[in-house]
Chains A and B, each alone.
Chain A
């Protein structure tokens, strides 16, 4: 990659820069700052779209009473039950039980507090669904939208 071809497509990096290795006019390698590259932005956007989709499905299941709100916060933090169990220091089967609304409703305040701290929310938030997913997706514009 030539230094003058180093892409400057801002997106996923927000206002940050990272460095690429590129060759200068004499064919020598140098470090070149880049604000991003559109294929990377697009791939990153797709990864978040997938999370958004999963979250949408979980939200529906929570609303219809099939899952507890813990499942929503777990999915939003890109976790599954085994990973959450590992963070919470609990056995997997116990976390899986907590994903059931009836069991979750009976959890003690100490356990709720621990989950809430992990997800960086208050207990009052943890026991219900937020209005907004607040995912970092689409915080940068999709160039396809403007076409």
Chain B
């Protein structure tokens, strides 16, 4: 069986994509960018003392689960969320909900999902997807980052739901139990922009623009600290966090600019349009940074770690200016 009126749309990011899918399925149209924005998905964090696969943790987005939580809260929408101890129970519950015609969001690990391209299967435990049907032993899945519907065996899906390690999903499933109130988006939009500004300008050394500056300082010392080879691996990890699957380009800067553009139209505030343009330019510079970083880890002489550090601090300066403007604007919007 398969839920009939569920339309699969490919998204740039798994969590905003899955959330948008569930909201659209509930009967109200909201774009992925709008969901990402209202979920205040944009962020930056550099946490040198937490290691992911042995490398410092870098993130260009807020913590997993926060987009779904914020969007549903801001839209006054009731949700059902559950984690499980028992794998069989988790799969039985899923089947039951599908029988009732409910599309169910799941947190999974990409490592165990066979339809993900082999080279992208790392232990990343916060991949979101929506299950929309079952055919024999196979589940029919709307994976936000896949172009079309995909299929996955019950055994593999169960493994993916019960992956271990950092951010272990523990079978987490979620779905909407009421229709989201999207009639009046002004307030949620302004509140979410304010929250993103607050996070990006937070007086915490590892968060937001200050996190970028901290990263710039670390990067300049990587080559002497780790040696050429390992420093290269660190840079590669950074590039992957910024550009590999699910950011929409430039570490979510482009998708957030798309949100600001939509917000400008919705709120009829032309300054937001200008700020969207500014963020696009900042995003282009992040893309350029990724390109230079690739040259650097391949050992091309024209780009040094010091140059990269300068690029990152200049990004921090630009983003600081950008978010201060944005913050001032939201104050005027009341």
- Residues of A at the B interface (CB closer than 8 Å) are 1, 12-14, 16-23, 27-29, 31, 33, 37-40, 42-44, 46-48, 50, 78-79, 83, 86-87, 136-137, 139-140, 144
Instruction: Enumerate 21 A-B pairs (CB-CB under 8 Å) in ascending A order.
Output: A1-B283, A12-B119, A13-B245, A14-B119, A17-B10, A17-B147, A18-B12, A18-B145, A18-B245, A20-B249, A21-B258, A29-B276, A31-B10, A43-B235, A43-B237, A47-B53, A48-B119, A83-B164, A86-B164, A136-B117, A136-B118
Among the listed A19, A48, A144, which residue makes an inter-chain contact with B11, where contact means beta carbons less than 8 Å apart? A19
Q: Are A42 and B111 in contact (CB under 8 A)?
A: no
Bound complex: CA A87 to CA B122 (Å)? 15
B298 touches A42 (CB 8 A): yes
Q: Are A39 and B245 in contact (CB under 8 A)?
A: no
Bound complex: CA of A73 vs CA of B297, how far in Å?
29
* 0/1 string, B22-47, CB within 8 A of A gives 1: 00000000000100000000000000
CB distance from A100 to the nearest CB of B (A): 23
Judge if B73 is at the interface, Cβ distance under 8 Å: no
Task: Give B residues with C-beta under 8 Å from A.
Answer: 10-12, 33, 53, 111, 117-123, 145-147, 164-165, 168, 232-233, 235-237, 239-240, 243-246, 248-250, 254-255, 257-258, 261-262, 276-277, 280, 283-284, 287, 290-291, 293-294, 297-298
Instruction: Take A16-B146, A42-B236 as given contacts and tell me if A78 and B243 are in contact as well, using a CB distance cutoff of 8 Å.
Output: no
Is B291 in contact with A39, judged by CB distance below 8 angstroms? Answer: yes
| Residue contact A1 to B254, C-beta cutoff 8 Å | yes
> In the complex, A83 Cα to B246 Cα: how many Å?
25
Closest B residue by C-beta to A84: B164
Once A46-B233, A47-B240, A137-B119 are accepted as A-B contacts, the answer to whether A38 and B294 lie under 8 Å apart by CB is: yes
In the complex, which residues of chain B have a beta carbon less than 8 angstroms from the beta carbon of A33?
A: 147
Contact between B294 and A21 (Cβ–Cβ < 8 Å)? no
Known contacts being A37-B243, A38-B294, A83-B123, is A47 close to B257, with CB within 8 Å? no
A33→B145 CA distance, assembly (Å): 11
| Contact status of A46 and B12, CB under 8 A, knowing A16-B117, A40-B240 | no
Could you tell me if A21 and B11 are in contact, using CB atoms closer than 8 angstroms? Answer: no
Instruction: Say whether, besides A42-B236, A46-B236, A22 and B294 are in contact (CB < 8 Å).
Output: no
A29 and B294: CB pair below 8 A?
Answer: no
**Which of B146, B239, B277, B284 is most buried by chain A, counting CB atoms within 10 A of its CB?**
B239
Query: Which residues in A have their C-beta under 8 angstroms from that of B243?
Result: 37, 39-40, 43
B24 CB to nearest chain A CB (Å): 15
Among residues of A, the one whose C-beta sits closest to the C-beta of B230 is: A50
**CA–CA, A16 and B113, complex, Å:** 15
- Not counting A20-B12, A21-B249, A79-B123, a sample of 11 additional A-B residue pairs whose C-beta atoms are within 8 angstroms of each other reads A1-B283, A37-B243, A38-B294, A40-B239, A40-B290, A42-B239, A42-B297, A42-B298, A43-B294, A44-B119, A44-B236
